Amino acid sequence: MTRRKLNHPRHGGAPDTARRAALGALGAVGAASLAACRSAASTLAPVAGSDAMAAVSRVEAALANASTTACVITAVETAGPFPLVSVLDNPALVRRDITEGKAGIPLTLTLKIVDHDKACSALSGAAVYIWHCDADGAYSGYSAQERGSRARETFLRGVQLTGGDGRVTFTTIFPGWYVSRLTHIHVQIFLAGTALSSHAVAATTTQLCFPEAVTAAAYDRAALYPQGQNHVTPSYASDPVFGNGIGTELLTVSGSAKTGYHAGIVIGLSSTGTSPESGDARGGHGGPGPGGAGGPPPPGWPPPPFPSFPASPRGIGHPAQGLPGPA
């Protein structure tokens, strides 16, 4: 286990005070939206059918068990070149449903955020920002992509504020894939009281992955995922980010490619920046690759034709829009 201090400021204040500060920082419109999202996201949304309810129950059980059986800090990973942090202060991004009409297998994603410094108790008032590519492997907000420009678009991105249970739930689609990367979802978490902007400092940045059998079943839906199976990066071991382990980043998933998926995970972080890192990461916060400053990168890094890009504090900064790199 790599031990070192995380470089981010301590955020003090009682939970209620900090939460009000976070809401104020987001603005009146954003605050109202966050409150509505938080209320709706306390539990996974019930859907019709016994199979769907069983899927919800399995994910709920995984969330409960992870909170009580293990207390670890989730591996820190690069934010990649497509975080589009310029939208963080946009109230329209405060939402539960981030699909914006994008086609794909429905995915309900629940994240429970816990504080490693407080025996993994639920972290209230944290802003959770997620983003991922569409079924064709394209990210919103960027122009220099193989699949055309998506500039000024915001699909498959969203922000929510955790409630007292530390949870947020997003309605989205199962992500697609692109060359050099396995299927994944990006997550950044900002402590209560952080004013969200392109200069905001995240408490943690990570990436989440899916069981390989789930991914294979999803990509068999050729009508929704025309690229089919990912034979370029077919396993965790061949992925430049997940190649060093997925123990703290693997989602629990229930459901099916036919009816849709429910997925969940507990994300642990250090609210003070003094806890030792644990989990899978062998390196740094948004560095040039999964090895970062704390260890050597895996063989073949960076994957051609993608160049490396500069390190940035806590994974918040990003290179010029459209610059390819490990995402």
* DSSP string across 242-264: GGG--TTTBPEEEEETTTEEEEE
DSSP assignment of 151-206 equals TT--TTEEEEE--TT-EEEEEEE----BTTB-S-EEEEEE-TTPPPSTTPPPSEEE
Kindly tell me if the per-residue pLDDT of 69 is higher than 90.
no
- The mean per-residue pLDDT over the stretch 138-163 comes to 88
Is 78 buried (19+), middle (13-18) or exposed (0-12) by CB count in 10 A?
buried
Is residue 141 within 8 A of residue 186, CB to CB? The reply is no
Instruction: State the pLDDT at residue 274.
Output: 65
Question: In 3-state terms, what secondary structure has residue 127?
Answer: strand
Angstrom distance (rounded) from CA 164 to CA 211: 29
As given in the structure block, the two tokens for residue 131 are 């983003």
Is residue 274 within 8 A of residue 4, CB to CB? The reply is no
pLDDT tens figures, 276-293: 654 554 333 333 333 232
Peptide bond into 319 cis (omega under 30): no
Per-residue confidence band for 168, with pLDDT thresholds at 50, 70 and 90: very high
Distances (CA, A) of 97 to 92, 197, 247: 11, 21, 28
Instruction: State the pLDDT at residue 320.
Output: 27
Instruction: Tell me the pLDDT of the chain averaged across its residues.
Output: 74
Instruction: State the pLDDT at residue 60.
Output: 77
With a pLDDT cut of 90, the percent of the chain lying above it is: 55
- The mean per-residue pLDDT over the stretch 81-108 comes to 95
Is 323 buried (19+), middle (13-18) or exposed (0-12) by CB count in 10 A?
middle
As given in the structure block, the two tokens for residue 300 are 């073949």
Kindly tell me if the per-residue pLDDT of 170 is higher than 60.
yes
Instruction: State the pLDDT at residue 164.
Output: 94
- The model's pTM: 0.73
